[in-house]
């Protein structure tokens, strides 16, 4: 080989090495890119698998398997529906279906039911349709949800918890029986009932319609579920702008008079007819109330012993009885008392004794002009909403009967800082009233005894007690939602009780 040839080969080495280096770099880049693509693909698969794992519910699997073995399901069973997450944390979910509601009862019965059903929708990953309000009850109020509550605020304020829509989408065929199922949930049911009995129904139906919603949820649930009920009740359910404006005006008028007491005098015709309480009523009035009770088939109890029921503390106090109790508690003639109620049975005549002792007795009809109340006439829920606002704002709240409004207001006032609420133990008080009226208990002793009965029942912090297997008799969640109050931690380890707190 010549020197010239050797020189050429030596001079070509740098170019060859450069080409080889570039080729190696391209190969390395290609391998790296493929590795990244593979890595991202694996990561996405892992995330998808993780979501499926989170939605796995062994109980749900066995429900489907049980149906297949029994021949109920088909061989191609639908995939398990997404169950609730125990801590109510993540809201990246696919809706399992639509929950439609027809509420029943008065304003506060419906209010509590709405809170309960939002919780159910949240628990089962359902899309909630804005509830329908009762238009067929004794009050025959034609109001819709948005007439009473701020519907936009309701939907917006809960969007991180549950999807709420104003109406079902047009794609849902209302005439297809396979898509709709109407039912009444079992009363006082807990989470297990809704997970095990209601959730599986959405494998067959797109929409479940609850046509009764009162007391369909237990008083005692998991802590986080209770917190959600409170969030709905005390934050999401804001009254409509019309009600808020007039309610605030009413409160300002009362505040202009100084401190005031709200007396929830539950002495209306429907209450007396339903309860069968006719103490101090004439024979004509007692017969009228009985006829009304028989006129409503869903008021199941017809023949009622009024005397026995009153002695059991199951009757609202009469205006005359209330007068004596207020005097015994130390309220004087200058006390401004706002009556929160519908039309008192017997009208002004029945209020004469109460008004004689407390001349500053007022009602919304006395404080607002007729123009203000014109749009509220014949709308009992709107009227009740005004009373609700005044009851929350008052210095003292005194219910004469522990109905739905009394209980819900009591709980709301606890939530707002344990505002003073005087709870009357009617079973004990009627005995004292009878002894005083029979002149066997002098006034001083009567007044002292009344104060002793009331002392300790002023809406102060107290743990809600529970009666196992007696939900109707135990403390009502909305009267004392202790999980949402400042004393919540103190109540976490309180054992179940065998007797009621009242």
- Give me the pLDDT at residue 34, please: 61
Longest dimension (CA), the chain: 145
For the segment 301-315, the average pLDDT, to the nearest whole number, is: 94
**Region of poorest pLDDT, from 28-32, 153-157, 350-354, 461-465:** 28-32
- Residue of higher predicted confidence among 6 and 90: 90
Torsion sign, CA atoms 353, 359, 361, 366: positive
CA–CA dist 458, 486 (Å, integer)? 16
H or E stretch including 489?
A: helix 488-491
The residue assigned the tokens 């002894």 is 435
As a whole number, mean pLDDT of residues 128-141 equals: 88
- pLDDT of 487 over the 90 cut: no
pLDDT, tens digit, for every residue of 231-265? 999 999 999 999 999 999 999 999 999 999 999 99
* Model confidence at 148: pLDDT above 90: yes
Check residue 81 and give its pLDDT.
Answer: 58
Question: Among candidates 319, 470, 466, which has minimal Cα distance to 401?
Answer: 319
Q: Say yes or no to pLDDT of 71 above 50.
A: no
pLDDT of residue 172: 84
pTM of the model: 0.81
User: Within 13 A of 300's CA, how many CA atoms are on the CB side?
Assistant: 0
User: Cβ distance 464 to 477 under 8 Å?
Assistant: yes
> Over the stretch 402-440, which tens digit does the pLDDT of each residue have?
999 999 999 999 999 999 999 999 999 999 999 999 999
Region of poorest pLDDT, from 66-75, 141-150, 180-189, 287-296: 66-75
Share of the chain above pLDDT 90, in %: 68
Q: What does R_g of the chain's alpha carbons equal in angstroms?
A: 33
Greater confidence, 53 or 115?
115
Lowest mean pLDDT among 138-147, 149-158, 285-294, 328-337: 138-147
| Pairwise CA distance, residues 471 & 425, whole Å | 20
For the chain, how are helix, strand and coil distributed in percent, rounded to 5? 50, 10, 40
pLDDT at 365 (0 to 100): 94
Average pLDDT for 361-390: 94
For residue 164, is pLDDT > 80?
Answer: yes
Burial class (CB in 10 A: 0-12, 13-18, 19+), 11: exposed
Confidence band for 486, pLDDT divided at 50, 70 and 90: confident
Residue 371 has pLDDT above 60, yes or no: yes
Rounded Cα–Cα distance for residues 191 and 148 (Å) = 29
Nearest to 124 by CA among 83, 90, 89: 83
Q: Left (φ > 0), alpha (ψ -120 to 50) or beta: where does 68 sit?
A: alpha
- Lowest-pLDDT choice from 84-88, 113-117, 187-191: 84-88
8 A C-beta contact, residue 115 and residue 84: no
Measured distance CA(210)–CA(82) in Å, rounded: 21
Pairwise pLDDT comparison (303 vs 176), residue with the higher score: 303
What does 291-339 look like in DSSP terms, one character per residue?
HHHHH-TT----S--HHHHHHTT-SPPPHHHHHHHHHHTT--TT-EEEE
**Mean pLDDT within 30-49:** 54
Query: Residue 203 and residue 214: Cα distance in Å, rounded?
Result: 25
Is the CB of residue 408 less than 8 Å from the CB of residue 111?
Answer: yes
- Three-class SS state of 435: helix
Q: How confident is the model at residue 138 (pLDDT cuts 50, 70, 90)?
A: confident
**pLDDT band, very low/low/confident/very high, at 157 (cuts 50, 70, 90):** very high
Q: What is the pLDDT of residue 73?
A: 33
């Amino acid at each position: 080989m010549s020197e010239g040839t050797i020189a050429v080969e030596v001079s070509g080495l740098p170019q060859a090495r450069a080409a080889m280096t570039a080729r190696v770099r391209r190969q390395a880049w290609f391998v790296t890119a493929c590795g990244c693509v593979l890595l991202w693909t694996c990561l996405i698969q892992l995330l998808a698998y993780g979501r499926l794992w989170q939605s796995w519910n062994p109980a749900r699997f066995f429900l489907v398997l049980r149906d297949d073995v029994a021949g109920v399901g088909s061989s191609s069973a639908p995939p398990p529906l997404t169950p609730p997450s125990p801590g109510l944390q993540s809201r990246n979910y696919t809706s399992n279906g639509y929950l439609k509601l027809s509420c029943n009862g008065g304003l506060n019965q419906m209010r509590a039911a709405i809170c309960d059903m939002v919780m159910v929708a949240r628990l089962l990953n359902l899309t909630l349709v804005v509830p329908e309000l009762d238009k067929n009850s004794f009050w025959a109020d034609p109001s819709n949800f948005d007439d009473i509550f701020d519907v936009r605020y309701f939907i917006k304020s809960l969007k991180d918890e549950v999807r709420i829509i104003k109406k079902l989408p047009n794609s849902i065929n209302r005439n297809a029986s396979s898509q709709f199922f109407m039912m009444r949930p079992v009363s006082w049911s807990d989470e297990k009932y809704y997970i095990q009995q209601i959730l599986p129904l959405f494998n067959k139906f797109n929409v479940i319609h609850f046509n009764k919603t009162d007391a369909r949820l237990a008083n005692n649930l998991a802590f986080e579920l209770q917190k959600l009920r409170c969030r709905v009740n005390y934050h999401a359910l804001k009254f409509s702008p019309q009600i808020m404006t007039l309610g605030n005006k009413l409160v300002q008028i009362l505040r202009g008079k100084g401190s005031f007491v709200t007396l929830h005098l539950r002495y209306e015709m429907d209450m007396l007819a339903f309860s069968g309480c006719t103490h101090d009523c004439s024979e004509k009035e007692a017969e009228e109330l009985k006829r009304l009770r028989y006129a409503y088939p869903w008021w199941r109890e017809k023949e009622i012993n009024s005397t026995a029921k009153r002695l059991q503390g199951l009757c609202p106090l009469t205006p005359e009885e209330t007068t004596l109790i207020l005097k015994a508690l130390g309220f004087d003639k200058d006390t401004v008392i706002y009556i929160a109620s519908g039309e008192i049975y017997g009208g002004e005549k029945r209020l004469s004794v109460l008004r004689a002792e407390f001349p500053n007795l007022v009602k919304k009809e006395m404080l607002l002009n007729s123009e203000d109340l014109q749009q509220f006439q014949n709308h009992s829920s709107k009227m009740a909403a005004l009373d609700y606002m005044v009851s929350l704002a008052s210095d003292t709240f005194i219910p004469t009967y522990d109905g739905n409004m009394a209980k819900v207001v009591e709980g709301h006032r606890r939530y707002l800082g344990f505002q003073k609420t005087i709870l009357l133990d009617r079973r004990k008080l009627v005995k004292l009233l009878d002894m005083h009226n029979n002149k066997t208990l002098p006034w001083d002793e009567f007044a002292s005894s009344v104060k002793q009965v009331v002392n300790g029942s002023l809406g102060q912090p107290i743990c809600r007690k529970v009666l196992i297997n007696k939900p109707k008799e135990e403390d009502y969640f909305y009267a004392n939602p202790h999980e949402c109050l400042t004393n919540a931690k103190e109540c976490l380890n309180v054992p179940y009780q065998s007797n009621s707190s009242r």
